[in-house]
């Protein structure tokens, strides 16, 4: 995997989409992540969980994707959470006061 790549794996169960990310969430990968997460909302999944334990880097563009999906999920009556954030992700989320999205 190249540095700019992001691997996105999705596991669906009734009402829930769980995504496992590996790599970097940056300008090169954010659109692909947004597309996957928005599709889960369009499929009316009531819970969307993103595992970020293998994310090396989270850019401001990645933060915008997270905020956008969080807002869309809230408006749709769905839940959105990030689980098992890597240390880098936890630090970035803490700096921008998004710790409430972490499980």
Cβ-based neighbours of 73, under 8 Å, separated by 6 or more:
41, 48, 79, 80
- E strands in 14-70: 16-25, 47-58
Burial class (CB in 10 A: 0-12, 13-18, 19+), 80: buried
Instruction: Record the pTM.
Output: 0.87
Domain ranges of the chain: 19-101
- Which tens digit of pLDDT belongs to each residue from 2-32? 545 899 999 999 999 999 999 999 999 999 9
Q: How confident is the model at residue 92 (pLDDT cuts 50, 70, 90)?
A: confident
- Which tens digit of pLDDT belongs to each residue from 26-85? 999 999 999 999 999 999 899 999 999 999 999 999 999 999 999 999 999 999 999 999
Do the Cβ atoms of 40 and 78 come closer than 8 Å? no
The torsion defined by the Cα of 94, 49, 29 and 74, in degrees rounded to 10, comes to -80
**CATH 3.30.750.24 is the classification of domain 19-101:** yes
């Amino acid at each position: 995997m190249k540095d700019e790549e992001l691997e996105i794996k999705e596991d669906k169960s009734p009402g829930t989409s769980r995504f496992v990310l590996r790599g970097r969430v940056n300008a090169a990968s954010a659109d692909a992540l947004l597309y996957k997460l928005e599709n889960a909302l369009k499929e009316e999944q009531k819970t969307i969980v993103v595992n970020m334990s293998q994310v090396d880097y989270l850019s401001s563009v990645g933060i915008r994707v997270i905020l956008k999906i969080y807002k869309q999920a809230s408006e749709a009556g769905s839940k959105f959470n990030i689980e098992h954030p890597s240390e880098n992700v936890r630090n970035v989320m803490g700096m921008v006061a998004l710790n409430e999205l972490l499980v």
